[in-house]
Amino acid sequence: MTRNQNFLNLWISILYRYRKNYMNKKLEAYGGASGSSLLILSIYKNDGISQEQISDLLKVDKGSIARAIKKLEQEDYVRREEDVTDKRVNKVYLTPKALALVPEIQSAIADWNKQIMTGIPVESQKIFLNCIEQMAKNACNTCL
């Protein structure tokens, strides 16, 4: 294992934790929504998505998604509707309050991405993004 491979997981950990802190600070006025930016964006891009589909999209277990959605519902960021064809399925929609927050989230993520990409040539960024997409797919398929 090269020196860089040794550090790989530390760098991923730093990028994960610092992005969370950055978003929490940028969106702290929005309460519980500040920690749910990826969740809110995934509903925004898939209006009426089911909780199960969100779980599959974000690769987060169903229990955690259910708790996060419930919290967002209590704070009036999402509403749930029973699927007319299958009453066991809850479809999730953003409320006007959340829709007003979406541009703030998108702007904060764009700012964050721009800052962390500073000094990295565009061609390397493309290779990096293709690699990390493949790595995330591999991660979901890892076995012990």
Query: Which residues lie near a copy of itself (CB under 8 A)?
Result: 1-2, 4-19, 22, 25-26, 38, 58-60, 109-110, 112-113, 115-120, 124-136, 138-140, 142-144
Task: Give the other-Cβ count within 10 Å of 87's Cβ.
Answer: 8
Closest approach, Cβ 67 to a copy of itself, in A, equals 15
Residue whose CB is less far from a copy of itself, 19 or 71: 19
Residue whose CB is less far from a copy of itself, 85 or 123: 123
- Structure tokens that stand for 67 in this block: 């708790």
Closest approach, Cβ 45 to a copy of itself, in A, equals 9
Residue whose CB is less far from a copy of itself, 89 or 109: 109
Cα end-to-end distance, the chain, whole Å: 19
Closest approach, Cβ 99 to a copy of itself, in A, equals 18
- Structure tokens that stand for 138 in this block: 């591999």
| CA 68 – CA 63 distance, rounded (Å) | 9
Closest approach, Cβ 62 to a copy of itself, in A, equals 15
Describe the chain by its helix, strand, coil percentages, rounded to 5: 70, 10, 20
Report the DSSP beta bridge partners of residue 12.
none
